[in-house]
Amino acid sequence: MFRHTFNTGVATALLLSLAPAAYSQELVIGLRAGPDSIDPHWSTLGSQAEALRHIYDTLVDVDETLQLKPGLAESWEPIDDTTWDFKLREGVTFHDGTPFTAEDVKFSIERIPEVTGPMSMTLYTKYVDSVEVIDDYTLRVKTKGIAPALPNDFTRLFVVPSETGEGVGNEEFNAGDAAIGTGPYRFVSWEPKGDLVLERYEDHWRGKTPWERVVRKEIPDDAARVAALRSGQVDLINYVPATDYVSMKNNSEVETFISDSVYILNVQPSVKDEEPQPIRVNGEEVEGNPLQDLRVRKALDLAINRDVLVNVVLEGLGTPANQLMPEGFFGYTNELGEREYDIEQARALLADAGYPDGFEVDFTCTNNRVPGDAVVCEALAQMWSRLGLTVNAQALNGTVFFPAAAKEEYTMAMSAWGTLTGEAAYTYGAMIHSKDPEKGFGNFNRTGYSNPEFDEVFVRGTQTLDPEERRKIYEEASLIAMEDRALIPTVILQSVWAANADKLTFTPRVDQETRAYEISPVGEQ
Partner 1 sequence: MLGFVISRLLQAIVVVFAMSIIVFVGVYAIGNPIDVMIDPGATAEIRENLIRQYGLDQPLWRQYFTFLSNVVQGDLGQSMVYNTSVTGLVFSRLPATLELVFVAITIATVIGIPAGVYAGYRPNSFAAKTIMALSILGFSVPTFWIGMLLIMGFAVELGWLPSGGRGDVGTLFGISTSLATANGWSHVILPALNLSLFKMGLLIRLSRAGMVEAMQTDYVKFARAQGLPDRQIVLRHVLRNISIPIVTVFGLELGSTLAFAVVTESVFNWPGVGKLIIDSILQLDRPVMVTYLILVVILFVIINFTVDIVYARLDPRVRLGGSR
Regarding 87 and contact with partner 1 (CB under 8 A), the answer is: no
Regarding 426 and contact with partner 1 (CB under 8 A), the answer is: yes
Regarding 11 and contact with partner 1 (CB under 8 A), the answer is: no
d(CA 402, CA 517): 35
| 466-505 CB burial, b ≥16 within 10 A, e <16 | eeeebbebbbbbbbbbbebbbbbbbbbbbbbbbbbbbbbe
Regarding 367 and contact with partner 1 (CB under 8 A), the answer is: no
CB distance 407 to 517 below 8 Å: no
Regarding 189 and contact with partner 1 (CB under 8 A), the answer is: no
Please say which residue, 365 or 391, places its beta carbon nearer to partner 1.
365
Please say which residue, 102 or 420, places its beta carbon nearer to partner 1.
420
Closest distance to partner 1 from the beta carbon of 55 (Å):
17
Please say which residue, 90 or 191, places its beta carbon nearer to partner 1.
191
CB distance 398 to 368 below 8 Å: yes
CA angle 499, 504, 508 (to 5 degrees): 70
DSSP 8-class letter at 312: I
* From 97, 207, 437, 452, residue interacting with partner 1 (rule: CB under 8 A): 437
Closest distance to partner 1 from the beta carbon of 233 (Å):
6
Closest distance to partner 1 from the beta carbon of 218 (Å):
8
Q: How many CB atoms lie within 10 A of CB 43?
A: 21
Regarding 21 and contact with partner 1 (CB under 8 A), the answer is: no
Regarding 126 and contact with partner 1 (CB under 8 A), the answer is: yes
Stretch that binds partner 1, among 35-43, 98-106, 272-280, 316-324 (CB under 8 A): 35-43
Regarding 9 and contact with partner 1 (CB under 8 A), the answer is: no
Q: Beta strands 196-200 and 236-237: pairing type?
A: unpaired
Cα 295–chain centre separation: 32
Regarding 440 and contact with partner 1 (CB under 8 A), the answer is: yes
Interface with partner 1 in residues 400-419 (CB under 8 A): 400, 402-407, 417-418
Regarding 120 and contact with partner 1 (CB under 8 A), the answer is: yes
How many Cα atoms sit within 13 Å of 242 on the Cβ side?
16
Q: Beta strands 236-237 and 26-31: pairing type?
A: parallel
Regarding 357 and contact with partner 1 (CB under 8 A), the answer is: no
* From 20, 99, 145, 232, residue interacting with partner 1 (rule: CB under 8 A): 232
* From 31, 32, 42, 497, residue interacting with partner 1 (rule: CB under 8 A): 42
Regarding 247 and contact with partner 1 (CB under 8 A), the answer is: no
Stretch that binds partner 1, among 213-221, 240-248, 316-324, 326-334 (CB under 8 A): 213-221
Regarding 444 and contact with partner 1 (CB under 8 A), the answer is: yes
Please say which residue, 305 or 364, places its beta carbon nearer to partner 1.
364
Closest distance to partner 1 from the beta carbon of 294 (Å):
26
Regarding 130 and contact with partner 1 (CB under 8 A), the answer is: no
Of 189, 181, 48, 42, whose CA–CA distance to 105 is shortest? 181
* From 352, 398, 464, 523, residue interacting with partner 1 (rule: CB under 8 A): 398
Instruction: Indicate the residue type of 21.
Output: A
Please say which residue, 251 or 464, places its beta carbon nearer to partner 1.
251
Closest distance to partner 1 from the beta carbon of 204 (Å):
28
Regarding 423 and contact with partner 1 (CB under 8 A), the answer is: no
Closest distance to partner 1 from the beta carbon of 35 (Å):
10
CB distance 496 to 318 below 8 Å: no
Please say which residue, 169 or 278, places its beta carbon nearer to partner 1.
169
Helix (H) or strand (E) holding 245: helix 242-249
Q: Beta strands 68-70 and 60-62: pairing type?
A: antiparallel
Q: How many CB atoms lie within 10 A of CB 180?
A: 21
How many Cα atoms sit within 13 Å of 159 on the Cβ side?
28
Closest distance to partner 1 from the beta carbon of 116 (Å):
9
Regarding 192 and contact with partner 1 (CB under 8 A), the answer is: yes
d(CA 212, CA 21): 10
Interface with partner 1 in residues 91-110 (CB under 8 A): none
Closest distance to partner 1 from the beta carbon of 197 (Å):
13
CB distance 365 to 378 below 8 Å: no
Closest distance to partner 1 from the beta carbon of 476 (Å):
22
The three-state (H, E, C) secondary structure of 391-427, written as one string: EEEEEECHHHHHHHHHCCCCCEEEEEEECCCCEHHHH
Number of residues in contact with partner 1 under rule CB under 8 A: 57
Please say which residue, 174 or 462, places its beta carbon nearer to partner 1.
174
Residue-by-residue DSSP string for 486-517: SSEEEEEEEEEEEEETTTEE----TT----GG
Helix (H) or strand (E) holding 390: strand 390-396
Instruction: Indicate the residue type of 262.
Output: V
Q: Which residues bind partner 1 (CB under 8 A)?
A: 1-2, 5, 36-37, 42, 44-45, 117-120, 122-123, 126, 169-171, 174, 191-194, 217, 219-221, 223-224, 227-228, 230-233, 368, 397-400, 402-407, 417-418, 420-421, 426, 429-430, 437, 440, 443-444
